[in-house]
Structure 1
Amino acid sequence: MHFRRLMATALVATGGLWAASAHSEETVLWWDFLGGGDGVRMKQMISDFNAAHAGTIKIDATTLEWGTPFYTKVQTSAAVGEAPDVMTYHASRIPLALTQGVLDEITADDWSAMGLSQTDFAEATWDAVTSDGKQYAVPLDTHPIVLYYNRDLLKKAGVLGDDGKPTGLGSGEEFTAMLQALKDAGVQFPLGSVTASGDFMFRTIYSFMCQQGGELMTGDEFLAGDNADKLTNTLELLQQWTNDGLQSKYTDYPATVALFTSGEAAMMINGVWEVPTMTDLAGQGKLFDWGAVELPVVFDKPCTYADSHSFAIPKNRGKEMSAEKRAAVLEVISWMEKNSQFWATAGHIPAYGPVTESAEYKAMEPNATYSTLTANMIFDPKSPLAGIAGPIFDVMSTYYVPTLNGEMDPAEAVEGIKEELNAL
């Protein structure tokens, strides 16, 4: 109920956007791709929005299949003027969307009407929805990967600090030594990683590349200069962990979560979206003492891969949105942003700065602990080939799985990746 009260309070501050122009109830057609805990929370927010705007605005929401099916549906629907009025969109998919002509610009007047501005968002998050100086979405969150850990096992192995965090987060040598200490203490899997999915491991690998100052794409070239060496360094380290029995081998996503929640893995690299899983199990008395922190610095500097769930307005071909409808859409987005404290219970870091700077958010754990990583984020390269379920993921996944599991030489893998990516 605490979060519901917060949402009601925020409504007082945001409700004026629509009131001045409302004449009759506007129905806003909404599409999202949110399942699991995300879906449960967004459905609650939509319900609360509709209750607060009864008689003026009603969200008519539809949830579609995540990934390629969602984006294909958006593309085909916009082409014939049948797309929704507002939709969720991954920031990483915006470059491709712009080549397809499916996104409407969020103009300066729109930002003003919503009561939002660039200063409300982290620099990397704002940049992720910007192209040629124009914005094409409103970031709702950042959802990075983090390091989950079992305090009980770490304490037993002598690698839990007085601050309740793992001790080996400062360098590759320290982190590897911590993994070894856990193994020596009898932990079956010091680190659980989704090593059977190259798509998922892209997040960890790209983070560690960035920790070396590396980038995947320079201009139109992939792995230019010494970036291939930085990718090789990353794969060598991760392969070493696997070969030394410090990291789970050929583990798919559900198995990785199961290894951690069962106590067989002392730590796990996974998305913040698994926070509700841990919170729910702990609330039922079925989980150990756990925490989550920013990724360890295994190379030169902190850096973590992230994407952003954002709100976008489709460019419906041959269908002009009325001023009243656009005002309603902007009220929907504004309200969701300013009430995103509740969205944070899904583990995500709200993109709207005043929420993360609030006392209520700073009391949320583990969110407040890992929110520091927003200063060290890296998003996908700005390319139509990048983004969730994009061609870059497909190419790299082919090489990552055998390499991470000790069956392919890292340098050989990088050579193949570079050749195939540049052929795209």
Structure 2
Amino acid sequence: MDRMTHLSAGPSAGPPRSGGIDRRSLLRGAGGLGALGALGALAGCGAAARPADDIAFWHLLSGPDGVTMSELLDGYMATDGAATVTPTVLAWGSPYYTKLAMASAGGRAPDVAVMHAARIPGYAPGGLLDEWDLDLLGEFGVRQEDFPELIWDKMMVEGKLLDIALDSHPFVMYYNTEIAEAAGQLGTDGLLLPVSSPEEYREQLLALGAQAPSGFGLSWGYLGDGSNQWRMFCTYYTQLGGTIELPEGGTMQYQEELAIQAIEYILTLIDGEVGNSSHDGGTAISEFATGGSGAFYGGVWEIGSYRNEGVPFDMQVIPGVLGRPAAYADSHSFVLPHQSSPNEERRRNVHAMVAYILKNSIQWANAGHIPAYSPVVQDPAYADLVPQSHYADASDYLVYDPPAWFTGSGSDFHTYFGNDMQNVWARRAEPLEGWNAFVARINDLLAKPSPM
């Protein structure tokens, strides 16, 4: 059994400032005295002499994901010649990323860590991450062609292989199969009937709602949840062909007409007819979990809770009724926190550990995540996973946050979007008013030098 250390969450903060990575700048950026406590928590994990077959591994996976990762590590350590892995589990969110940055800057970096892929562009310019050795990965059977193109592109940052994706976890559509059948919306293959226009989709959702106890065809929670608001907006804005660029020192580049069109379309889905106009994340989940609604928009990680509730459901990519389908997503990725003098044998062991986990990531798929390692998804055993195999095509439509030091899962970017757009969804502000407020706030961030 592997050894495991748990560290509590520290203060929420941003990465260090430019001009050299040092503790002083990190502490200033992380909130002073609170960060000192975080550094104390890091003291036991880093530069102290350890054997090369002892891997220090930090991650932010808890609950079922944490259990699955522990099982995968046990499997790796049971193989011949495997190193010992000592995981350290930290709380998800900004505190985790702050501590990881401080560990790298302070010479206390773990040998390997998990980050969300969309967070990595904020770390790359500061030299906080080391490159993976593709040739060494190849010795363990992992190659570039083993990853979908969209995921591989996200793994390459500034021309360097800075992360190895374990998965993608997209924003998708769940639907109640019993309600869909009663509404005449299941095809002969047992899957939800395809739709190709906003009008067809509205009719389908209204048909689901007519058979649902709540009267709603769709559950989606937005109150107090900036990330869920952004996932929904990004899905439909991308379907329309919208793009966003965030040039440092410049201004946010976007297509205003498409942004407003996406916002106005989302409002038709929470109009009190198709969907409830005032759900938060918890009430939306509860409504679907109790069989109250016909469909639900959310992350693939809700699979376990819905199974536990016994609700009959299947899943698919959100229909591309405004254009090409889009699946807003992020990826859990392995990174090599910077070490000034890495032990070559230990680095080799880290590559072996990650290759083992990738090759056995069908276990990871049980939690709903789509394995990034394509041979697993292409294996006949994956086709037997339902509903996972029914939305595996999301890998062809992945959309990540636009790269910037302030974007990514759990970032201020999502928080600010929620702050400025919540009144729009509640119909207390006009779409352009909320959107312009968000853009102005992002432009303020772009005008500031990156903390990296």
**Which range, TM-score by smaller chain?**
0.7 to 0.9
The 1-side partners of 2:246 and 2:84 are apart by 45
Instruction: Please say if 1:351 is aligned against 2:380.
Output: no
- The letter for the 1-side match of 2:365 is A
Residue 291, structure 1, aligned to residue 308, structure 2: no
Compute the displacement of 1:395 (Å). Answer: 1.8
User: Higher relative contact order at CA 8 Å, sep ≥6: structure 1 or structure 2?
Assistant: 1
1:224 to 250, 253, 259: 253
The 1:183/1:115 distance shift into structure 2, 3 A limit, reads closer
User: Cα deviation per residue 1:144-179 (whole Å; 9 max; x = unaligned)?
Assistant: 011001011122222222222223532222111122
3-state SS, counterpart of residue 147 of structure 1: strand
Q: Structure 2: any 5+ residue segments left out of the alignment?
A: 1-50, 446-452
| 1:259 equivalenced with 2:287 (yes/no) | yes
What does the per-residue CA deviation read over 1:348-395, in whole Å, with 9 as the maximum and x for residues that have no partner?
A: 110001111101112211111100121111111122121112232122
1:36 corresponds, among 46, 50, 63, to: 63
CA spacing shift, 1:333–1:126, aligned 2, 3 Å: same
Unaligned 5+ residue runs, structure 1? 1-23
Mapped contact 1:144–1:304 kept (Cα < 8 A): yes
Q: Deviations over 1:72-107 (max 9, x none)?
A: 110111111112111111110111111332110113
Match of 2:405 among 377, 384, 389: 384
Match of 1:128 in 2: 154
CA distance in 2, matches of 1:29, 1:267: 42
Q: Secondary structure at the match of 2:391?
A: helix
What is the Cα-based RMSD across aligned positions, in Å?
1.9
Query: Residues of 2 paired with 1:97 and 1:216: CA distance?
Result: 20
Identical amino acids, percent of aligned pairs: 29
Output the TM-score relative to the length of structure 1. 0.88
Matched, 1:407 2:428: yes
Q: Structure 2 CA distance, aligned partners of 1:367 and 1:223?
A: 36
Distance 1:166 1:354 in 2: 27
**Normalization by structure 2: what TM-score?**
0.82
Which of 33, 42, 50 aligns to 2:77? It is: 50
Distance of 2:72 and 2:234 partners within structure 1: 33
Cα offset, 1:112, TM superposition: 2.7
Contact 1:216 1:222 in 2 (8 A): no
In structure 2, what is the Cα distance between the partners aligned to 1:130 and 1:166?
A: 36
Q: What secondary structure sits across from 1:313 in the alignment?
A: strand
**2: distance between equivalents of 1:346 and 1:41?**
8
Distance in 1, matches of 2:425 and 2:189, equals: 32
The residue identity in structure 1 corresponding to 2:361 is: S
Letter in 1 for 2:336: I
Shift of 1:201: 2.0
Does the 8 A contact of 2:229 with 2:417 survive in 1? no
Residues 292/222 of structure 1: CA separation in 2 closer, same or farther (3 Å cut): farther
The residue number in structure 1 matching 2:390 is: 369
* Cα distance between partner residues in 2 of 1:66 and 1:186: 35
1:274: how far off? 1.3
Give deviations 1:286-310, integer Å, cap 9, x for gaps: 32x2101111112011111111111
Residue 202 of structure 1, aligned match among 230, 237, 242: 230
C-alpha distance in 1 between matches for 2:251 and 2:303: 34
Q: Determine helix, strand or coil for the equivalent of 2:270.
A: helix
Alignment map for 1:35-114 (pairs within 5 Å): 35-53=62-80, 56-114=82-140
Using the alignment, how far apart are the partners of 1:108 and 1:50 within structure 2?
A: 22
Q: Show CA shifts across 1:1-49 (max 9, x none).
A: xxxxxxxxxxxxxxxxxxxxxxx87110111101122112111111222
- Pair 270,64 (structure 1): closer, same or farther in 2 beyond 3 Å: same
